[in-house]
Amino acid sequence: MEKRKVGRPIQKIGRVKIGLSIDGETNSYLTELSVNSGKTKSRIIEESIALYYENNKELTDKIILANKLKDDPYHHFRDVLKKSMDK
């Protein structure tokens, strides 16, 4: 593994580095969650994305199917989004 500085690998095996900038209220929420849960901000974001993906799997599947069928994907998107907002 190539290293930039001592003890600072450029990449970890099985992980990808992305750039993410947040500020304002979102950063405050994330800091508060980090302090209260004892988890890093990165871990909180990873878990949030996983939960979002699980909760919106139906929407994602319908959009993929619509794209394969060359149908209007936004028709399905609006329908599923409305259902998820009603929950």
pTM here is 0.57
Question: Residue 37 is inside which H or E element, if any?
Answer: helix 24-37
Burial 56-69 (b: 16+ CB within 10 A, else e): eeebeebbeebeee
Tens digits of residue pLDDT in 5-49: 666 666 677 877 788 888 889 999 999 999 999 999 999 999 999
Number of domains composing the chain: 2
> Is residue 70 within a helix (H) or strand (E), and if so which, with residue range?
none
Which residues span the domain enclosing 41? 22-52
CA distance 77 to 85: 12
> Same structural domain for residues 41 and 62?
no
Instruction: Kindly state whether residue 26 falls inside one of the protein's structural domains.
Output: yes
Number of neighbours of residue 76 by Cβ within 10 angstroms: 19
Query: Once rounded to an integer, what is the mean pLDDT over residues 48-69?
Result: 83
